[in-house]
Structure 1
Amino acid sequence: MRTGMMALALGLLALRFLPVLPPAGLWLLLPVVGLMLLPFRTFPLAFFLFGFSWAGANAQWALNDRLALNLDGETRWVEGRVTGLPQQAEGVVRFELTDSQSRRTRLPRHLRLAWYGGPPVNSGEHWRLAVKLKRPVGLLNPHGFDYDAWLLARHIGATGTVKDGQRLREAQWAWRDGIRQRLQAVDAQGRTGALTALVLGDGAGLSREDWQVLQNTGTVHLLVISGQHIGLLAGVVYLLIAGLARYGLWPKRLPWLPWACGMAFAAALGYGLLAGFEVPVRRACLMIGLVLLWRLRFRHLGAWWPLLLAFDGVLLLDPLASLQPGFWLSFAAVAVLIFTFGGRLGPWRWWQTWTRAQWLIAIGLCPLLLALGLPISLSGPLANLLAVPWVSLVVLPPALLGTMLLPVPYVSEGLLWLAGGLIDLLFKGLALMAGQLSAWVPVAVPLWIWALGMLGAFLLLLPRGVPLRPLGWPMLLLLVFAPRHTLPEGMAEVWQLDVGQGLAILVRTRHHTLLYDAGPRFGDIDLGERVVLPSLRKLGVNGLDLMLISHADADHAGGARAIANGIPVKQILSGDHLALPDELHAEGCESGQQWAWDGVKFQLWQWSSASDSNQKSCVLQIEANGERLLLTGDIDAAAERALLDGPLAVPTDWLQAPHHGSRSSSSVALLSALQPKAVLISRGNGNSFGHPHPTVVARYQKRGVAIYDSAEQGAIRLQLGRFKPPWTMLQERRFWRGPPPSSQ
């Protein structure tokens, strides 16, 4: 039976690694084949086919529920019910709408919407909204967060921006949102957001600084992911009833064991529903239910069997859960603990058990965090050593009891005030640790190095005395000190990062690094901090020799401050340096300045008669082994005419589309003089400016210029000096992404 369950798990997981989904008819054929194999006792293969077909069918249903192409960018009136816990920050209300309907138009069942300057929206309310709809699409960058996969895992078929709306019905059965509103109204010593996260699993109230502290100390799971707290609550309820029965305080007419198991599971399930019933919560509830069921039957269950059944159960309920990092981290952490403490000879003292658990979890999860592209907390073992018992045994009891007693005014307020103060002490302690040692963003490594590191972590989890165990350390450290790929002399590697409606281009030679523009910042969304800086670190960039900000517009310079604060920058130049923040200490772009790095030539140009910020853009020409790239910022047709009178008006292989391909740029004169073979366009999908303009695209196509568009292909990697086509993120096939363009 266990072999069959393992085969079922492999079949359910196989979906995660498919580049494309097979034909829909295959999902109907595979279960039939599996049934035909059962009489031949080929149970593992049959179970694998069942799991694979069920996962594939669910993925196909989710993809079929996405917004139709002809509705992308359209504004429609939509009716539906608000679900989950709406979030409001910086004047923006974000929420999910389910059971969405529109007249004469089929819409996805689940929508994720943003309402700028909108009124308060509560869970359970029914609304009629005018929504500009968009197909699910996210930024695609090397080893970055996959927003497309995240949306698909949550079965969200479209996103949108609300233009107008009216409430049709008040909230119904929105008990979680009601509890949140009451929690937000109490005095929690300034920690209402953290208290809400701990009780409800809603992290919307945590500030950016709070998130950074939790990430740096590896304690995010303590306030948002409540799996271990559910187990603790179930254990307390079980032991309470067992203790009452032992001392004769439990009613004799009620058998204590069934009641203990039933009440423990009810407590776990109730807290799970309160916390949103996400993947870690489902895993905990399923494992607790199985353990209690076997305990009720007086059978020894072991540890691996409940974990395997919970694993299959979570994926059977929602096969797309495997697309979420939380799924892997939740099960992997439990598996490390089971493997570490199971089958060992001789007991450990309690303090040995506790300290070793933290270090071994850190070692066991290190390769997984690297594979998922997540930061690794260096202070995590020590932070969790203190924070886990503090939250579980000191903070959680008054927080949950105060929430249960909300109808009792003074008692609940006192308990929640106490819980808030205890959380504040926790954050102060974690902030001290985070200030000393921040999270490490590992550099992406080749598959073979990652496999060696995984093997090293496995060896280190083995008991002492096992042969070859010491080899685990050098194998694991390969993940940290992996050999770096070095560029040959005279070559340059160019990355046009996918930053939406903005620009950020990384240029690396053998020993030097340059960043041209730093990505956009709009309001509280800083893509320099969220996208550019993590991408630089994952690509192995620890510092910049030069950050060249073409001009001061927010879509080009917005992320500069985050970059300068995140990694060392030796020099900052800009075509509009006086308009940049003083703390950047930017210098002016000097037209005609030239230099060479490792055999690669660089030259600057700026229009001396520029009258606005766009025209002031500092233009950079890069030449490697005779292959040229021209980075133009946001110059317009007037600046382009001036450029043609300068030294950069020479045949150019690669052109970064001026002003994102706007109608006022990419003039016929410029294209005739430069004769580019290919153009790089950086822009946001469905942007309100209409970039690139159809006339400009037609102009490129008429001249046979290959177009590489970040909105369609994600980040683009060019090896300048090799005269070869670039590599794009869309070539890294995933079944939830669209196919790569058929022609360029």
Structure 2
Amino acid sequence: MRRAMVALASGLLAPIFLPVLPPLWLIAAMSILALMVLPSRLYPVGFFFFGLAWACFSAQLALDDRLPAALEGETRWVEGRVVGLPQQSDGVVRFELADAQSRRTRLPTLMRLAWYDGPAVNSGEKWRLAVKLKRPAGLLNPHGFDYEAWLLSRGIGATGSVKDGWRVQPAQGAWRDGVRQALARVDAQGRSGALMALVLGDGAGLAREDWQVLQDTGTVHLLVISGQHIGLLAGLVYLLVAGAARYGAWPSRLPWLPWACALAFAAALGYGLLAGFEVPVRRACAMIGLVLLWRLRFRQAKPWWAWLLAFVGVLVLDPLASLRPGFWLSFAAVAILMFTFGARLGPWRWWQTWTRAQWLIALGLCPLLLILGLPVSLSGPLVNLLAVPWISLLVLPAALLGTALLPVPFMGESLLWIAGGLLDLLFKGLALAAGRIPAWAPPALPLWAWALATLGALLLLLPKGLPLRILGWPMLLLIVFPPREEVPWGQAEIWQLDVGQGLAVLVRTRRHALLYDAGPRFGDADAGERVVVPTLRKLGVRGLDLMLLSHADADHAGGARAVRNGLPTTRVISGDPTALPVDLQAGPCDSGEGWEWDGVRFELWRWASAVESNQTSCVLLVEAGGERLLLTGDIDTHAERALLDGPLGVPTQWLASPHHGSRSSSSMALLTRLQPHSVLISRGRNNAFGHPHPWVMERYRRLGMTIYDSAEQGAIRLQLGAFGPAHIQAGERRYWREPPPAGTSMQH
């Protein structure tokens, strides 16, 4: 039976590696084949095909529930009910709308909406809204967070921005939101947001600085409800019943063991429902249920059997859970503990068990964090030694009991005040640790190096004294000292990152790195912090020799402060330095300034007669082995004419589309003089400016230029000096990603 479960789990996981889903007729054929082989010795094959068919069918249903392409970018009046817990930060209300209806239009079952400067929105309310709809899409960057996969895993078929609306019906049955509002009104010594995260799994009340502290110290799991919280509550209830029975306080007519197991599972399930029943909670409830059932009936069952059943059970109920990082981290942490403690012949003392558990989890999760693109906390093993019991034994009981006793005057508020104070002390301590040892974002590894590092971590998890265990250290050190593919002398590696409606281009030679523009920042969305810095670190960039900000507009320089804070930066220059924040200490862009790095030539130009921000853009020419790239910022046709009269008005193979393809740029005079064979466009999908303009696109096509568009193809990489095609991130197909439209370049 165990082989059957492993085969079923393999089938349920297989679709995450598929570039496209099989057609429905093939899914049906796999189901029939599975039924045919089940009675034979090949029954594991049957279970595999059952899992594969079910996972593919579930994924296809989710894809079919996406917004029809014909409605992309349209504004529609819709009516639906708010579900989940709405989030509000920096004047933006984000919430999910379920079962939305619109006249003569089929809409997805669930939509994620943002309302800028909108009113308070509460769970359970029914609203009529004017919404500009978008199909699910996300930024595509190397080793970056896959937002499109995350949306699919949650069953969200559309996103959108609310233009107007009104409440049709007050909240009904939204008890979780009622609890949240009650917690928000409590005096928790400034930590009501942390209490809501701990009790309800709602992290919207935590400031960005708090999240950064939790990430740096590896303690996110303490405030995001996990199996630890569920297991602690279930264990406490079980021990209370067992203790009452032992000392004669339990009614003799009620058998204590069945009641202890039932009440413990009910407590776990109730806390899980309060927390929103996400994947870690589902896994914990499933495993707790199996352990309690084993305690009642199946005494010979092994812990690995319970783990495997819980793993398969979560995937059968929600096959798309495998697209979420939390699914892998949750099950992997439990598996590491079971593997390491189960392999020992003798017991450890309690303090050895506790300290080694933290160390082994940190060690075992390193390769998984790396492949998921998550940072590694260096202080986590030490910090968790104190933070875990602090939360588990002090904060959590007071928070849950205080929440339950809120209807009792003074009692609930007092307990929550104490819990808030304990959380405040914890955050102050965590901030001290994070300030000294921030999280480490290791560069991405080639697949072969990652496999060796994973094998090294597994060897180190084995008991001491086993042969070859010592080899784990040099294998795991590949994470710290990864093999790097050096840029050839005389060539430049160019990355146009996918930052939405903005620009960020990395130019890297053998020993130097330059960033042209730093991505946009609008409100709380800072592409410099969320996209540029993490991507550069994953690409192995340890610092910047130069950050060149073409001009001061928010879509080009908005992320500059985050980049400078996140990476050592030797020099900053801009075409409009006086309009930038003083702390950036940007120098001017001097026309005619040139230099050479590792056999690659660079030259600057700025229009001296510029009168407005776009015209002040600092233009950069990069030449490697006779192949040229021109980065133009947001210059318009007037600046283009001046450019053609200068030294940069020479034939250029690669052109960064001026002003994102705006109608006021990319003049025919510029294109015919430079004669580029390819153009790079950086813009946001369905942006409000209409970039790139159809006239400009027609101009590019008429001249036979190859078009690379970040909104359709994600990040774009080219090797300047090699005279080859560009590589596009969208070329790495996944079944949940839409292929680029016909007519765009698909070189990869």
Residue 552 of structure 1: aligned partner = 552
Report the alpha carbon displacement of residue 19 of structure 1 after superposing the two structures with TM.
1.3
Report the alpha carbon displacement of residue 41 of structure 1 after superposing the two structures with TM.
2.9
Conserved 8 A contact 1:95-1:113: yes
Matched, 1:405 2:405: yes
Matched, 1:439 2:439: yes
Give the Cα–Cα distance (whole angstroms) in 2 for the partners of residues 607 and 674 of structure 1: 18
Residue 269 of structure 1: aligned partner = 269
Residue 502 of structure 1: aligned partner = 502
Conserved 8 A contact 2:713-2:728: yes
Give the Cα–Cα distance (whole angstroms) in 1 for the partners of residues 28 and 484 of structure 2: 47
Secondary structure of the residue aligned to 1:614 is: helix
Conserved 8 A contact 2:38-2:47: no
Q: Give CA deviations for 1:118-149 in whole Å, capped at 9, x if unaligned.
A: 11111011111110000001111110110000
Distance 1:298 1:735, change over 3 A: closer
Residue 706 of structure 1: aligned partner = 706
Matched, 1:645 2:642: no
Secondary structure of the residue aligned to 1:329 is: helix
Give the Cα–Cα distance (whole angstroms) in 2 for the partners of residues 654 and 605 of structure 1: 17
Residue 121 of structure 2: aligned partner = 121
Equivalent runs, 1:95-494 vs 2, <5 Å: 95-297=95-297, 299-494=299-494
Residue 532 of structure 1: aligned partner = 532
Residue 629 of structure 1: aligned partner = 629
Give the Cα–Cα distance (whole angstroms) in 2 for the partners of residues 98 and 416 of structure 1: 33
Q: Give CA deviations for 1:539-591 in whole Å, capped at 9, x if unaligned.
A: 11111111100001010011111111111111111000111111111110010
Report the alpha carbon displacement of residue 409 of structure 1 after superposing the two structures with TM.
2.2
**Given the two structures, how large is their TM-score scaled by the length of structure 2?**
0.99
Give the Cα–Cα distance (whole angstroms) in 1 for the partners of residues 720 and 298 of structure 2: 69
Conserved 8 A contact 2:92-2:115: yes
Q: Give CA deviations for 1:10-56 in whole Å, capped at 9, x if unaligned.
A: 00010111111111211111111101111223221010000000000
Conserved 8 A contact 2:343-2:462: no
Conserved 8 A contact 1:198-1:226: no
Aligned residue pairs total: 744
Q: Give CA deviations for 1:658-698 in whole Å, capped at 9, x if unaligned.
A: 00000000001000100110000000000000000000000
Give the Cα–Cα distance (whole angstroms) in 2 for the partners of residues 679 and 650 of structure 1: 16
Secondary structure of the residue aligned to 1:603 is: strand
Secondary structure of the residue aligned to 1:40 is: coil
State the one-letter code of the partner of 2:81: R
State the one-letter code of the partner of 2:517: D
Report the alpha carbon displacement of residue 740 of structure 1 after superposing the two structures with TM.
3.6
Report the alpha carbon displacement of residue 298 of structure 1 after superposing the two structures with TM.
5.3
Secondary structure of the residue aligned to 2:542 is: coil
Secondary structure of the residue aligned to 1:708 is: strand
Give the Cα–Cα distance (whole angstroms) in 1 for the partners of residues 244 and 128 of structure 2: 54
State the one-letter code of the partner of 1:641: R
Report the alpha carbon displacement of residue 741 of structure 1 after superposing the two structures with TM.
4.2
Give the Cα–Cα distance (whole angstroms) in 2 for the partners of residues 677 and 700 of structure 1: 9
Give the Cα–Cα distance (whole angstroms) in 2 for the partners of residues 631 and 72 of structure 1: 31
Conserved 8 A contact 2:230-2:268: yes
Q: Which runs of 5+ in 2 are unaligned?
A: none
Conserved 8 A contact 1:715-1:729: yes
State the one-letter code of the partner of 2:265: F
Distance 1:43 1:561, change over 3 A: same
Secondary structure of the residue aligned to 2:176 is: helix
Conserved 8 A contact 2:343-2:463: no
Deviating 4+ runs (over 2 angstroms): 740-744
Secondary structure of the residue aligned to 2:439 is: coil
Report the alpha carbon displacement of residue 488 of structure 1 after superposing the two structures with TM.
1.2
Equivalent runs, 1:74-93 vs 2, <5 Å: 74-93=74-93
Give the Cα–Cα distance (whole angstroms) in 2 for the partners of residues 528 and 160 of structure 1: 23
Equivalent runs, 1:565-576 vs 2, <5 Å: 565-576=565-576
Percent identity between matched residues is 74
Matched, 1:724 2:719: no
Give the Cα–Cα distance (whole angstroms) in 1 for the partners of residues 638 and 298 of structure 2: 84
Give the Cα–Cα distance (whole angstroms) in 1 for the partners of residues 383 and 727 of structure 2: 41
Give the Cα–Cα distance (whole angstroms) in 2 for the partners of residues 477 and 24 of structure 1: 45
Report the alpha carbon displacement of residue 430 of structure 1 after superposing the two structures with TM.
0.7
Give the Cα–Cα distance (whole angstroms) in 2 for the partners of residues 672 and 482 of structure 1: 45
Root-mean-square deviation over aligned CA pairs: 0.8
Secondary structure of the residue aligned to 1:409 is: coil
Q: Give CA deviations for 1:340-367 in whole Å, capped at 9, x if unaligned.
A: 1114111100000000000000110000
Residue 579 of structure 1: aligned partner = 579
Distance 1:658 1:648, change over 3 A: same
Q: Which runs of 5+ in 1 are unaligned?
A: none
Secondary structure of the residue aligned to 2:736 is: coil
Give the Cα–Cα distance (whole angstroms) in 1 for the partners of residues 119 and 603 of structure 2: 51
State the one-letter code of the partner of 2:337: L
Give the Cα–Cα distance (whole angstroms) in 2 for the partners of residues 483 and 556 of structure 1: 32
**Given the two structures, how large is their TM-score scaled by the length of structure 1?**
0.99
Secondary structure of the residue aligned to 2:613 is: coil
State the one-letter code of the partner of 2:44: P
Conserved 8 A contact 1:62-1:155: yes
Q: Give CA deviations for 1:170-198 in whole Å, capped at 9, x if unaligned.
A: 11110000000000000000000001000
Give the Cα–Cα distance (whole angstroms) in 2 for the partners of residues 74 and 579 of structure 1: 36
Give the Cα–Cα distance (whole angstroms) in 2 for the partners of residues 11 and 665 of structure 1: 52
State the one-letter code of the partner of 1:299: R
Report the alpha carbon displacement of residue 225 of structure 1 after superposing the two structures with TM.
2.9
